[in-house]
Amino acid sequence: MGAVIGVRRRGWQAVRATGRLLLGLLLVPVCLIGLALFLLTFVSSATFIGLIILPYVVRLNRWIAGRGRRVAAGWLGRPVTAEYATIEGGVLARARIVLGDPMTWRDTAWIAGHIVTGPILAALGLGVWAALGFGPSLPIWWWAPLPEHAVYLLGFAVDSWPRVIVAVPLLVAAVATAGSYVLPWLATAEAVLTRLLLATPERVRLAERVAELTETRTAALDAHGAELRRIERDLHDGAQARLVSIAMRLGVAERMLAADPDQAATLIAEARLSTEETMTELRDIIRGMYPPILADRGLPGAVAALAARCPIPVAATVTGVDRLPAAVEAAAYFVVAEALTNVARHSAAATATVHVSAADDLLTLRVSDDGRGGADETAGTGLAGIRRRVAAFDGGTDLSSPPGGPTTLTVELPCG
Amino acid sequence: MRVVIVEDNVLLAEGLALLLRTEGHLVAATVDTADGFLAAVEKHRPDIAVVDVRLPPTFRDEGVRAAIEVRRRHPRQPILVLSQYVEQTYATELLAGGGGGIGYLLKDRVSRISEFVDALARVAAGGTAMDPEVISQLLTRRRADHPVESLSPRENEVLGLMAEGRSNGDIAALLTITERAVHKHVGNIFMKLGLPPSDSGHRRVLAVLSYLSTV
C-alpha cells in the first residue's frame, strides 16, 4: 500500500515539476520582449524620451519577474518576495529611483538568464517524457523496415519479439524511475535559481527592518517621554498643589480652633472637599497611566468592562490572551476604548463586535460595527491617536469603512 | 453595630476603625486577607463587613471575589465593598446574587461621614448603596433615542438617587421636595422606561440597575 502511494506521489511530483518547467517556458517569450525593451530604453535613456519610458519598462520587468517568483514559489511551497523601491516624483527622480534600485538589475539579470535556462530546463524535462513515450513505440522501430532490422539499446540488440517484450517494460521502468528524480530536480534547480536572483537578500531585508525599528523606537521613546511629562505636570499642578492647600487650611484651622471654632469648621470642611477633588483627580491620572481594571482582570476582563460600558450592545470575545507585557496590554486597552468611543459617537451603529486574539507573538484587535461607515481619518483625533500609539509598538493599523458600512478597525501589536 | 473590616493598608484600616468607633460602632475584627475575611465572618457573624477590593497576595479583585464567596455561603450577610476606583462590572457581579445588603462605594465617600454612616446603616438593614460614579457610568453616553433621554432633569436626579439605593424619604430630603413629589416622579420614571412598578427598596434598585446595564 505504502509503496503504491509512494509511487503515485512521485508520479504526481514529476507531473507538477513538468508543469512548473512549462510555465517557465511560457515566460521565455515575455522575457525576450522585456529584455529587448529594457536594453533599447537603457541605451536611449541618454535622451529625454528614454528617461520617460524607462520607469514603465522597469514596471513591465517587475511584473515579469513577479510571474517568475510565483512559479518558483508554487514549486518551493513558500513565498519568494522582494521589496522594490517606490517609483515616484518627477521624470529624473523616477529614472534615478529605478536605476538605483538593486532589484532592477536583479530582475534584468534573471530575465536575461531565464531566456537561456528556461528553454534548456524545459527541453530536458520534455526529453524525459519523450524517452518515456519512446519505450512503448519500440516495436514499431524494430518492425519497421530499417536497414539493420534491429534496434540497439545500450548495445543490446532488440531483434525478436521475446526480446521486445522484455525490453519495453524495462525501458519504461528505467525512464520513469530516472524521470521521477530528474524532473523535480530540474524544477528545483529553476526555482532556486529564481529565488537566488529575485528574492530580496536577507541582509537587505534585515537592514530595512533595523531602519524601521529604529524609527518606531524613536517614536516610542518620544511618546513615552511625552507621557511622563504629562503625568508629572498633572501631579505637580493638580494633586500636589491641592495637598499643599489642604495642609495650609488644616494648619490655620488648628490654630483657630480655640479662638474661632466656626471659622475653623469652615476651613476643615473646605479641606475635606479639596481632598475629594484630589482623589478624583488622582483616579483619573491613574486610569490614564494604567487602568486598574487591567491590573485586576487582565485584558479579557478589561475588554469586557469596556464592552459593558459602551452605550450600544457590544459582543466581545478574547481568545488566546494570557498575560502580555503590561505596555502592550495598556495600548490594546486604550485602542479598544478609543475605537468603542468612536463607534458610539459617530457610527450610528446598532451593534458592535470586539475581537481580541493573540497568536504567534502577535496581538490582533478587531473592532467592527454595523453603522453608516465612511469614517474620515482626518476628521477627528481619535484614529490618528490610535495610529500613533500602535506605531510606537511597531504595530499596524488598518481601517476599512466604505460609505454605508460596515466599519472595521484592525490593529496588530507585536507582543513577543 | 458589630463591624468586620477587611483592609490590608494599615493606615486606612486604622482610620476606618477610628471613624466607626467614633460613630458608636464596634469593630469586631480587622483582617487583611480574603481568607481572613471568610474566617472572621464565620466567627463573628458581624452586622456588616467593610471590604477593600485589592487584597494580598495579588492585589487585584480579591475583595470582590471574597465578597461573592461570603454571600454564597451566607446570603444575608451585609457587605460594603470599598475601592479606590469603581467599575460597573464589579457592581453587576456583586448584585448578581440578587439579595439586598450590598454596598459598593468609592473610598472617597468615607470622608462625608454622615453619608457614609447612612450608607452603612442602609446596607446593614438589607438595603443597597451604589456609588454615584457607578450610576453615572451607567447613565453617560446613552444614545439619543434611549428611553432614559425622555426623562426630565428632575426625574434623572431621582433615577440616579434611586439607583444608588436611596429611599423615597432620603430622596425627598436630598432634593428638598416632598415625599409625595418623589413618589410621583418614581411613578413617571417607571412608566417612561416601561418597567413594572416595584415597591421601594432593594428590588427597585435591581430593576433600575439591570435596566440600565442591559438596554
pLDDT at residue A279 in the model: 92
The domain B2-131: what is its CATH number?
A: 3.40.50.2300
Contact A286, A275 (CB under 8 A): no
Using alpha carbons, select from B155, B153, B158 the residue that is nearest to residue B169: B158
Cβ neighbours of B146 in A, within 8 Å: 311
Which tens digits make up the pLDDT trace of B114-141?
Answer: 889 999 999 999 989 999 988 888 776 5
Q: Which three cell numbers stand for residue B79?
A: 457587605
Residue B199: pLDDT band with limits 50, 70, 90: low
pLDDT at B33 (0 to 100): 94
Residue A309 identity: R
Contact B85 A275 (CB under 8 A): no
SS3 A157: strand
Locate the chain A residue with the closest alpha carbon to B110.
A276
Q: Which residue has the higher pLDDT, B145 or B42?
A: B42
A320 pLDDT band, cuts 50/70/90, is confident
User: What ipTM was predicted for this assembly?
Assistant: 0.79
B87 contacts chain A (CB < 8 A):
yes
Q: How many residues does chain A have?
A: 416
CA distance B181 to chain A (A): 30
What confidence score (pLDDT) does residue A150 get? 63
All structural domains of chain B with their residue ranges:
2-131, 141-214
* Mean pLDDT, chain A, whole residue set: 86
Are B111 and A293 in contact (CB < 8 Å)?
no
Residues composing chain B: 215
Whether residues B88 and A305 touch (CB distance < 8 A) is answered with yes
Summarised one tens digit per residue, pLDDT across range A374-407 is 887 777 667 888 888 888 888 889 998 888 879 9
B84, B92, B111 member nearest A276 (Cβ): B111
Neighboring chain A residues of B112 at a CB cutoff of 8 Å: 272, 276
Average pLDDT estimate for A254-275: 92
pLDDT of residue B144: 61
**pTM reported for the whole predicted model:** 0.66
For the B141-214 domain, the top CATH level (class) is mainly alpha
- CB–CB of B89 and A292 under 8 A? no
**Residues in chain A within 8 Å Cβ distance of B87:** 292-293, 305
CB A397 within 8 A of CB A387: yes
Tell whether B33 is within 8 A of chain A (Cβ).
no
| DSSP three-state, residue A164 | helix
Pick A50 or B36 by higher pLDDT: B36
Classify residue A346 by its DSSP letter: I
Is residue B131 within 8 angstroms of chain A, CB to CB?
no
Residue B117 has what pLDDT? 92
Q: In the structure, what pLDDT confidence band is assigned to residue A149 with cuts at 50, 70 and 90?
A: low
β-strands B79-83, B102-106: how paired?
parallel
Mean pLDDT for B176-194 is 89
- The yes-or-no verdict on residue B165 having pLDDT over 80 is yes
A312 touches chain B (CB under 8 A): yes
Evaluate if residue B100 carries a pLDDT over 90. Answer: no
Work out the average pLDDT over A224-242.
Answer: 88
* Arithmetic mean of pLDDT, A248-259: 91
Over residues A354-369, the mean pLDDT reads 92
Question: 3-state secondary structure string, B121-161?
Answer: HHHHCCCEEECHHHHHHHHCCCCCCCHHHHCCHHHHHHHHH
| Rounded to 5°, angle at Cα A94 from A103 and A37 | 65
pLDDT of residue B116: 92
User: Phi first, then psi: what are they for B175, rounded to 5°?
Assistant: -95, 0
For residue A413, pLDDT over 90 is answered with yes
Q: Is the pLDDT of residue A6 over 80?
A: no
Structure confidence at residue B131 (pLDDT): 93
Position A203 confidence tier, pLDDT thresholds 50, 70, 90: confident
Q: What is the pLDDT of residues A116-136, one digit of tens each?
A: 999 999 999 898 888 888 777
CA A31 to centroid of chain Cα atoms: 29
Nearest to A55 by CA among A36, A75, A40, A41: A41
Phi, psi (degrees; rounded to nearest 5) at B153: -55, -40
Average pLDDT value for chain B: 88
Res B178: pLDDT: 93
How many CA atoms lie less than 13 Å away from A7 in the CB half-sphere?
A: 7
Residue A148 has a pLDDT of: 59
